[in-house]
């Protein structure tokens, strides 16, 4: 049972989490999907339509995404629009929820909520398993 004193703190924490998740947009692409690169402090990396860095996750196996739930809130999957077509090393992989996700060289692609401006690579090397995607 939650005490009356703890209730405001829990409500504030819930609002903060909801605001953070709501502000975490998935990577955006034009109709052709990913393909652009940008020079960053981590070298030349793949980016979405807004110039935001894309990442790969070492825990993904056999071309399948293993980043779901809270992981996907922090590392939004690079979802493909209906009718998207593979091209130039880019492919599509099915997520557990049925959505299609872009992949490069067979590796699913993600954004990172810690990047707030184009060209940032704050997620590169995170937890030793996240890396900026190089194209």
| Domain carrying residue 104 | 26-132
In the chain, the number of structural domains is: 1
Q: Is residue 117 situated within a structural domain? A: yes
Task: Kindly state the tokens that stand for 40.
Answer: 């960053």
Looking at the predicted structure, is the pLDDT value of residue 38 above 80? Answer: yes
Query: Do the domain assignments include residue 5?
Result: no
In a domain? residue 78: yes
In a domain, 60, yes or no: yes
56 pLDDT band (50/70/90 cuts)? very high
pLDDT tens digit string along 85-115?
998 899 999 999 999 999 999 999 999 999 9
pLDDT in tens, 9-27: 443 343 334 434 444 567 8
Please state, rounded to an integer, the average pLDDT across all residues of the chain. Answer: 83
- Averaged pLDDT for residues 39-59: 94
Q: Is 1 contained in some domain?
A: no
Q: Which of 82, 107, 97, 109 is nearest to 26 (CA)?
A: 109
Question: Token match 């995607």: residue?
Answer: 133
Residue 10 lies in a domain: no
Residue 9 domain-assigned (yes or no): no
In this structure, is residue 63 part of a structural domain?
yes
């Amino acid at each position: 049972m939650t005490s009356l004193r703890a209730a405001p703190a829990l409500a504030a924490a819930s609002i903060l989490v909801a605001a953070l998740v709501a502000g975490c947009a998935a990577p955006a692409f034009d109709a052709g999907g990913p393909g652009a690169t940008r020079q960053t402090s981590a070298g030349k990396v793949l980016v979405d339509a807004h110039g935001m860095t894309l990442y790969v996750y070492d825990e993904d196996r056999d071309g399948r995404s293993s980043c779901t739930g809270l992981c996907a809130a922090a590392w939004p999957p690079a979802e493909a629009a209906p009718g998207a077509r593979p091209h130039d090393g880019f492919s599509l992989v099915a997520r557990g929820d049925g959505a299609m996700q872009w992949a490069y060289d067979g590796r699913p692609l993600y954004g990172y909520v810690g990047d707030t401006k184009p060209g940032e690579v704050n997620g590169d090397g995170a937890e030793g398993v996240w890396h900026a995607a190089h194209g």
